[in-house]
Amino acid sequence: MLIAFTGQVALAQYNYRWGNQHRQRVEMIVGGDFVVTMNDAQPVIKNGAVAINNGKIVALDTEDKILAAYRASKRLPGEGKVLMPGLVNGHSHTAMVLFRGLADDLSLQDWLQNYIFPAEGQFVNENFIRVGETLACWEMISGGTTTFVDMYFKPDVAARVVERCGLRAVIAPSSIDFPSPGFRGWDDAFAAAVDFVKRWKGRNPRIIPALAPHAPYTVSPEHLTQAIQAARQYDVPLTIHLAETQTEVQDIQQRYNATPVQHLENLGFLESRVFAAHVVWPNESEIALMAKRGVGVIHNPDSNLKLASGFAPVPAMVQAGIQVGLGTDGAASNNDLDMWEAIRLTALIHKGKSLDPTTLPAKTVLRMATLGGAEALGLADKIGAIKVGLQADLIQVDLTSAHLTPLYDVISHLVYAAKAQDVDTVIVDGQVLMSERQVFTVNTEQIRREAIRIGEQIQAELRPSN
């Protein structure tokens, strides 16, 4: 018996050593009861896992097969969780979290001209951007956003914050024809934006510099042409607000005898490097034109509803083949950076508008929040799906809460029931930014204190004197 037992131990030790020697070493293995890949080749893997090395996905399969083929120094179990791509927030003005709730229940033009533009001129400085950007990164990490677009001011400050916080971002300094924080007008603002693009392109793979002429109604035709020519010259993305309100459509029609989309087409502006925010009021021919030109569109249901801008024809745009992603817009007009709200609203409002419950099914909307957003931004070769060779930008969503019990269809749950607080783990470029709801890359108590102080200062200075 002793000889037999000794032989069994020796055989087990041999098999253990042999197995370890022949399993490929990777940095991390992450699991999930469900791996929702957004990859048509392997849409949902039950009891799955992903192997990660050098910030990239090297394998995905059932957990048993991954563990048989790979060994890792770090393993994140997936019991009770969904593993899926991180969310892509395709349009935000990130540091505007510090204006959250400053001016509500107003039309877009009233909100911008009489409240936001003056407040920005008075309060936006480097410290405002540092604190606001960090607060926003904390909020987005907590909600499972791994990539976002920031169309705002002082891009160097924003980029340094994103570097520290670990997220991926398209940083697009806003350029406009009239004075903005730190600038007299278009010439110096746009020159600074181009300088930022030249200095940051290729500097950090998680920071994608871009150009952002604000909108057709705030930027002249000559300057719009200058912006798209510079985007081509430096081979960077360009983002713009477009056809957001009926007022904008009427204004551009009066000025240039064309609708906003046709106005940009007349300038030779529309092409695949461009992604437009809102696009609430395109007509049928303009939808076909944007599809033909490869223009991406970012749908922002929260702010479109809050500012009463209208209902974007998202189903028609998707049907036409436009790459449509989702965004939160800035927290001054939303009032948060919660992509799960954008997901749920998108799935619901277009059903109500069309009176057709089959409009924009759950899978389509979840794709818009992940791979669709990546496609709209021109980043689908890097992010948006769980696929070998893509960056490991992943989240785990906890399924154990009451509002996610029982479970029949995991994608239905993610679209119609999941909430930001259900996100348990966030990984970007293979680095864990949050685990068990603890954010590792932001000093949350300190940034909360600093944000409160800035809010108190803004409130005191805006308070009418007696």
Sheet holding 296-299, edge to edge: 238-242, 274-278, 296-299, 324-326
Backbone angles phi, psi at 218, to 5 degrees: -120, 0
Rounded Cα–Cα distance for residues 237 and 272 (Å): 9
**CA dihedral for 256, 259, 260, 264, sign (positive or negative):** negative
CB 36 within 8 A of CB 82: yes
Q: Which of 62, 85, 90, 74 is nearest to 29 (CA)?
A: 74
Residue set of the binding site for Zn(2+): 91, 93, 241, 329
CB 88 within 8 A of CB 370: yes
Rounded Cα–Cα distance for residues 211 and 57 (Å): 30
CB 27 within 8 A of CB 53: yes
Rounded Cα–Cα distance for residues 362 and 46 (Å): 19
Residue set of the binding site for substrate: 120, 214, 244, 329
CB 312 within 8 A of CB 278: yes
* Residue 426, beta-bridge partner list: 395, 434
Rounded Cα–Cα distance for residues 105 and 118 (Å): 17
Residue set of the binding site: 91, 93, 120, 214, 241, 244, 329
Helix (H, G, I), strand (E, B) or coil at 336: coil
- Whole-Å CA distances, 427 to 144, 226, 340, 395: 9, 38, 18, 6
Exposure string over 352-384, b if 16+ CB within 10 A, otherwise e = eeeeeeebbebbbbbbbbbbbbbbbbbbbebbb
Residues 6+ apart with CB under 8 A from 118: none
Residues 6+ apart with CB under 8 A from 289: 261, 262, 265, 270
Q: Which of 370, 264, 267, 261 is nearest to 320 (CA)?
A: 261
Give kind and range of the element (H or E) at residue 165: helix 155-165
| Omega of the bond leading into 406 within 30 degrees of 0 (cis) | yes
> Tokens in use for 198?
């030249």
Rounded Cα–Cα distance for residues 97 and 108 (Å): 17
Rounded Cα–Cα distance for residues 308 and 336 (Å): 17
